[in-house]
Amino acid sequence: MARDARYDILFEPVRIGPVTARNRFYQVPHCDGMGHRRPKAEAASRAVKAEGGWAVICTQECEIHPSGEVTPSVEARLWDDKDIPALALMTEAVHRHGALAGIELVHNGPSSANRYSREVPLGPSHQPAGRYDPVQARAMDLTDIRAYRQWHRAAARRAKLAGFDLVYVYAGHDLSLPMHFLQRRRNNRSDEYGGSLENRARLLREVIEDTKEEVGDTCAVAVRIAVDELLGPEGITSEGEGRDVIAMLAELPDLWDVNVSDWDNDSLTSRFGPEGGQEPFTAFVKKVTSKPVVGVGRFTSPDTMVSQIKRGVLDFIGAARPSIADPFLPKKIEEGRLEDIRECIGCNICVTGDRFAAPIRCTQNPTMGEEWRKGWHPEEVPGKSTDESVLIVGAGPAGLECARTLGERGYEVHLAEAGTDLGGRVVLESHLPGLSAWIRVRDYRIQQLTKLTNVQIYRDSRLTPEHVHEFGAAHVVIATGGAWRRDGVGRANWQAVPGLDRAGVFTPGDIMAGAQPEGPIVVYDDDHYYMGGVLAEKLRAEGHDVTLVTPAHSASAWTDYTLELAHIQKRLLEIGVTIVANQRLATMQVDHAELACVYTGTRSLVPCASLVTVTARLPNDDLYRALIANGDALKDAGIGSVTAIGDALAPSTIAAAVYAGHSYARALGTNPDGKVAFKREFPG
């Protein structure tokens, strides 16, 4: 299919200094947990995006010196010449698909605790370093500043040798020395690098000039800068110094890559902000420079992209997450296949890879991070290896993805769902406050399934073992999901909590099914991801007095890894939810919950009429257990295998369920044990 002429503007080439991007799709720097430790995986992952049509593909942060390293994160590294070959793998792979390769050179200054190198961190002034590390950065003297500039020059030279087309000077995200020098709160120097904005911007200017001088003949020099830190007058603002510094240096770099900071504001989840949400902060940039401007905003809609270009907000559609969820997004627009776009849901599971120094993963795209080690491609699957049929029971994320992938492979697939709606847990959860974009997990898959004539879908079909036997498919996949526990068992309580068998006790499943608890309500969150916080928000919005009790140090503690923790605390506090931390539920009485301090065991009471227990889930595996208990019946029915996947095996994230469905479908007929083998990278 030809693309719609409305989108032609997105495919215009754009010049960036000495190089030209083939279109306006630009994968901005983003971390992926692979970096210098897994360079082959890194190269393969970035290459797939180049193949998918992105014109520019950037690395993640690339450390330029051991005095500014990001351990435990594993990002890119260019400390000396020995680091060049690993990065050259990426540039070669990206170039093979006609894209430009960009590198984000970084010295993290006082944002680094240098946990690996043990070097003393550096900063514009003496200040604490790292996160909560008991480590300080020392104030750089003029010799240190000269040394830093030399490190940056050397890294730029090496980047050019590694084959990069764009070299970044980084001043984003409350990270990197040029930003730290800009920030009044961090910089209280009295020399020519402190005081006035001009002085505080001196280092940024010098490093841009150095980089241009060093590699600017063949490489474009890009600046990534946070134009607003969303800290009000305490920080850089787009109406104040953010605007002034860009105006001051407007024509110096070849490209401005602009965003808001900190990272949790830049990579805002869909729960807290819409597509294109950075426009109010970044729109001024194009008015003060003639250089091309790239910005991000979780762009997945081509109409929004066109609007950004036509209205003069951006020249390039920057993307990290949309390129992760769909590496082929540009190609799909180019080929007029909009219905095939796998839209990012804005959940930030991808961010957790960096946080855990593990290969990136994505809720929507189960192949992300698996391109090299498992040989998975986001748009291609191997053909079927037999003519066997597969019955999948349950059409949640696991069942839908399994059916889609098996269908793509050419298998005869039968997908049976107990309910009328397909989508399982995402149907219910997408009705919770802020989670509406999560329905894209279902929508993308249903859209794809409609094209597969070899996949039959049966709604309103709750299958029993007898049904499964009658069906007689060669393989049976049980994707029947899980259900929230009612007994309070979780991480803090290993035994059932006394008193939870009474009226007035609800699970998240009850609330999502429409139960109306009476207030005041205690939400007991021993799950620690989004559910406890989101239910507290919902019940509070319905007018109840809500207390969120958690054995953790804060509400939704795991969301620290998805960059949502601070946003969640703020929202809950602002709407009037009381947060009681470090307490486990001890017993439930008629009109109160009894809590125990997780440190001292000291008891306290919270009056409440209802309790919502958000602790853990159990697999819905009755069907699975019944089937595998009767091997003879399976044999008589000609059923060769029965496999539980996703929440039906062990409840986890939606990302894990999608991955499980995909993984099963890839392995069928190719791996005798049903597991997908993966390659590892070894040093040297």
Residue in 487, 427, 415, 434 with CA at minimum distance from that of residue 654: 427
Q: Looking at 168, 170, 624, 664, which residue is catalytic?
A: 170
Alpha helices in 554-646, H assignment, sequence order: 565-575, 622-629, 631-637
Helix, strand, coil shares of the chain, percent, nearest 5, are 35, 20, 45
Of the candidate residues 286, 425, 485, 662, the single one contacting ligand ADP (CB under 6 A):
425
Contact 274, 227 (CB under 8 A): no
Is residue 241 within the footprint of ligand ADP (CB under 6 A)?
no
Residue 278 near which of ligand ADP, ligand SF4, none (CB within 5-8 Å, type-dependent): none
173 is catalytic: yes
Nearer to ligand ADP, 73 or 461 (CB): 461
Interface pattern 372-411 for ligand ADP (x via CB under 6 A)? ---------------------xxxxxxx------------
| DSSP class of 72 | T
- CA terminus-to-terminus distance, the chain: 46
Nearer to ligand ADP, 206 or 647 (CB): 647
Least Å from the CB of residue 32 to ligand SF4: 11
Least Å from the CB of residue 569 to ligand SF4: 20
Residue 162 near which of ligand ADP, ligand SF4, none (CB within 5-8 Å, type-dependent): none
Nearer to ligand ADP, 344 or 392 (CB): 392
Nearer to ligand ADP, 276 or 397 (CB): 397
Least Å from the CB of residue 400 to ligand ADP: 7
Residue 129 near which of ligand ADP, ligand SF4, none (CB within 5-8 Å, type-dependent): none
Q: What is the C-alpha separation between 213 and 150, in angstroms, rounded? A: 12
Residue in 358, 261, 373 with CA at minimum distance from that of residue 655: 358
Quick one: residue 602, left, alpha or beta (phi over 0 = left, psi -120 to 50 = alpha)? beta
Q: What is the C-alpha separation between 229 and 278, in angstroms, rounded? A: 12
Give bridge partners of residue 578 from the DSSP assignment. Answer: 547
Residue 634 near which of ligand ADP, ligand SF4, none (CB within 5-8 Å, type-dependent): none
Give bridge partners of residue 62 from the DSSP assignment. Answer: 76, 105
Q: What is the C-alpha separation between 222 and 554, in angstroms, rounded? A: 39
How many H helices and E strands in the chain? 24, 29
Least Å from the CB of residue 661 to ligand SF4: 15
Q: Looking at 31, 362, 402, 608, which residue is catalytic?
A: 31
Nearer to ligand SF4, 107 or 271 (CB): 271
528 is catalytic: no
Least Å from the CB of residue 275 to ligand ADP: 25
Interface pattern 482-521 for ligand ADP (x via CB under 6 A)? x---------------------------------------
Q: What is the C-alpha separation between 221 and 155, in angstroms, rounded? A: 13
Q: Which helix (H) or strand (E) holds 60?
A: strand 56-63
Instruction: Give the footprint of ligand SF4 on this chain (CB under 6 A).
Output: 321, 324-325, 344-350, 362-364
Nearer to ligand ADP, 107 or 414 (CB): 414
Nearer to ligand ADP, 483 or 581 (CB): 483
Residue 620 near which of ligand ADP, ligand SF4, none (CB within 5-8 Å, type-dependent): ligand ADP
**Where are the strands (E) in 488-636, listed by range?**
505-506, 521-525, 546-549, 578-580, 583-588, 592-597, 603-607, 610-614, 617-619
Is residue 462 within the footprint of ligand ADP (CB under 6 A)?
yes
Least Å from the CB of residue 331 to ligand SF4: 17
Residue 406 near which of ligand ADP, ligand SF4, none (CB within 5-8 Å, type-dependent): none
Which amino acid is residue 250, in one-letter code? A
User: Which residues, 601 to 660, sit near ligand ADP by CB under 6 A?
Assistant: 620, 623, 646-648, 657
Least Å from the CB of residue 37 to ligand SF4: 21
Least Å from the CB of residue 363 to ligand SF4: 4
Q: What is the C-alpha separation between 219 and 102, in angstroms, rounded? A: 9
Q: What is the C-alpha separation between 409 and 94, in angstroms, rounded? A: 27
Least Å from the CB of residue 428 to ligand ADP: 9
Residue in 550, 557, 611, 554 with CA at minimum distance from that of residue 583: 550
Q: Looking at 36, 65, 107, 173, which residue is catalytic?
A: 173
CA 543 from chain center: how many Å? 32
Least Å from the CB of residue 344 to ligand SF4: 3
Query: Which window, 106-114, 412-420, 447-455, 566-574, contacts ligand ADP (CB under 6 A)?
Result: 412-420
Angstrom CA distances, 511 to 312, 535, 610, 653, stand at 45, 8, 12, 19
Q: Which residues contact 83 (CB under 8 A, 6 or more apart)?
A: 36, 77, 158
Q: How many residues does the chain have?
A: 684
Quick one: residue 385, left, alpha or beta (phi over 0 = left, psi -120 to 50 = alpha)? alpha
Q: Which single residue is written with the structure tokens 């998918």?
A: 52
CA angle (133, 136, 138) in 5-degree steps: 155
Residue in 233, 230, 220 with CA at minimum distance from that of residue 316: 220
Is residue 459 within the footprint of ligand ADP (CB under 6 A)?
no
Of the candidate residues 417, 487, 525, 527, the single one contacting ligand ADP (CB under 6 A):
417
Of the candidate residues 68, 330, 481, 669, the single one contacting ligand ADP (CB under 6 A):
481
31 is catalytic: yes
Q: Looking at 174, 254, 266, 315, which residue is catalytic?
A: 266
Nearer to ligand SF4, 162 or 347 (CB): 347
| C-beta neighbour count of 542 within 10 angstroms | 12
Least Å from the CB of residue 348 to ligand SF4: 5
Q: What is the C-alpha separation between 338 and 443, in angstroms, rounded? A: 13
Residue 21 near which of ligand SF4, ligand ADP, none (CB within 5-8 Å, type-dependent): none
Of the candidate residues 50, 319, 416, 644, the single one contacting ligand ADP (CB under 6 A):
416
| DSSP class of 80 | S
Residue 463 near which of ligand SF4, ligand ADP, none (CB within 5-8 Å, type-dependent): ligand ADP
Q: What tokens were used for 497?
A: 């909590």
Residue 364 near which of ligand ADP, ligand SF4, none (CB within 5-8 Å, type-dependent): ligand SF4
Q: What is the C-alpha separation between 384 and 407, in angstroms, rounded? A: 9
Nearer to ligand SF4, 458 or 561 (CB): 561
Residue 344 near which of ligand SF4, ligand ADP, none (CB within 5-8 Å, type-dependent): ligand SF4
DSSP three-state, residue 21: strand
Residue 307 near which of ligand ADP, ligand SF4, none (CB within 5-8 Å, type-dependent): none
133 is catalytic: no
Q: Which residues does the annotation mark as catalytic?
A: 31, 170, 173, 266
Q: Which stretches of the chain bind ligand ADP, using CB under 6 A?
A: 393-399, 416-419, 424-425, 461-463, 479-482, 620, 623, 646-648, 657
